[in-house]
Structure 1
Amino acid sequence: MKSRLNRLATAALAVALTAGSFAAIAQVTVGGAPMYPTKDIIDNAVNSKDHTTLVAAVKAAGLVDTLKGPGPFTVFAPTNEAFAALPAGTVDTLLKPENKAALTGVLTYHVVPGKVDAAALTKMIKDGNGMASLKTVAGGSLTAKSSGGKVMITDEKGGTATVTIADVYQSNGVIHVVDKVLLPK
């Protein structure tokens, strides 16, 4: 009886350690903050110090409730550095209330309906002979390619962003962090 209890206790400990190790491996950190797959896109993004501009823009555009919705959504999330690389004054201009429609257009251009994780995107690129076209919520298109082991996303103006952190899973989709702001026509 005692040895059976010891075996059960050992097995329970092994399962707990394996589950804990898996959770530690699966945990993704963005902008210094852990991202939880049980939280929605907004609830995770507000904790990333690298996405304060994006969060401010989403709030100004009135898209918080949408991105807290059931989705699923795939978001190509530009960092603060990506927004800072835009021409001087662009972000300030977009954040003005009178430019809400333009801001909404730019932000929804970074969102693709459905949950397109890295594996799905890689398969789409392979199936498309090295290129995949993604239809955005804004109605435009993004083109995904693989180059040097990295996924590159090209906008309709020819600008290209690199996915720097892929597969940040959310309860309502997935985020891929990108290093450039993507712009529609």
Structure 2
Amino acid sequence: MSTVLRICWVSIKETRRSVLRSIGAGTAVAVGGVGAASAKPPSEGETIADVASNDDRFSILVDALAEAELVGALGGNRQLTVVAPTNEAFKQLLDDLGISKEDLLARDDLAQILLYHVIPGRRNAASVTASSKLPTLNGATIDVDGTNLNGDQADIITEATNIEASNGFIHAINGVLLP
């Protein structure tokens, strides 16, 4: 094995170890092994929290993350994938529930709802849509059927996938997932 190839292999093995440590071995097994998450090391640049806050499509999500004190969870080096409801998705939920944005932000279960949209590991859209179930940071799983999530709760917006951040991906969805 050449020296360059050996260095790359060692780097990949170290990255996989750090992914296992950050998401926990149980989660890694639940997602089908660490191979389901990218072996790509975190790059420099904007985190998921930064990218979402700079994208007008996700302003309600960003407000909810701030209210639930979860911005820091999406701002570190831990590799994550967020299926992110757009503002339109949140507005539809507010209409369906007959509540205001303030009422939504005041919910006791807001953090659990938001964590239901966060998948451990760095998964591109092809990896997400090829799965039948995805674990979430709130401990539940999301059922996946192609671009459809949890039956009729949401669809992945195919024109707004693979929004890359230094610590993972954002895939816009047209509904809010409720655990």
TM over 0.5: yes
Contact 1:77/1:110 (8 A) holds in 2: yes
Distance 1:133 1:90, change over 3 A: farther
Q: Distance in 2 between matches of 1:122 and 1:77?
A: 15
The code of the aligned residue for 2:57 comes to: D
Counterpart pick for 1:65 among 72, 89, 95: 72
Q: CA deviation at 1:90?
A: 5.5
What are structure 1's unaligned runs of at least 5 residues? 1-36, 125-131
Distance 1:135 1:47, change over 3 A: same
Report 1:167-182 matches (<5 A).
167-182=162-177
The code of the aligned residue for 1:145 comes to: D
What does residue 127 of structure 2 align with?
120
Q: Distance in 2 between matches of 1:85 and 1:136?
A: 23
The code of the aligned residue for 2:73 comes to: T
Q: CA deviation at 1:109?
A: 0.4
Report 1:124-143 matches (<5 A).
124=131, 132-143=132-143
What does residue 160 of structure 1 align with?
153
Higher strand share: 1
Q: Distance in 1 between matches of 2:164 and 2:70?
A: 19
Q: Distance in 1 between matches of 2:154 and 2:129?
A: 16
Q: Distance in 2 between matches of 1:65 and 1:142?
A: 23
Counterpart pick for 2:103 among 68, 93, 102: 93
What TM-score does the superposition give when structure 1 sets the normalisation length? 0.66
Q: Distance in 1 between matches of 2:76 and 2:171?
A: 18
The code of the aligned residue for 1:179 comes to: N
Q: After TM superposition, which residue ranges in structure 1, 4 or more long, deviate above 6 angstroms? A: none
Q: How many aligned residue pairs are there?
A: 131
What does residue 58 of structure 2 align with?
51
How big is each residue's C-alpha offset from its partner over 1:51-92, in whole Å with a ceiling of 9 and x where there is no partner?
110000000000011110112111000011101111221532
Q: CA deviation at 1:122?
A: 3.9
RMSD: 1.6
Secondary structure (helix, strand or coil) at the match of 1:85 reads helix
Q: Percent identity?
A: 37
What are structure 2's unaligned runs of at least 5 residues? 1-43
Contact 1:159/1:182 (8 A) holds in 2: no
What does residue 9 of structure 2 align with?
none
What does residue 88 of structure 2 align with?
81
Q: Distance in 2 between matches of 1:173 and 1:111?
A: 10
Q: Distance in 2 between matches of 1:81 and 1:122?
A: 22
Q: Distance in 2 between matches of 1:169 and 1:90?
A: 31
Highest CA radius of gyration, 1 or 2? 1
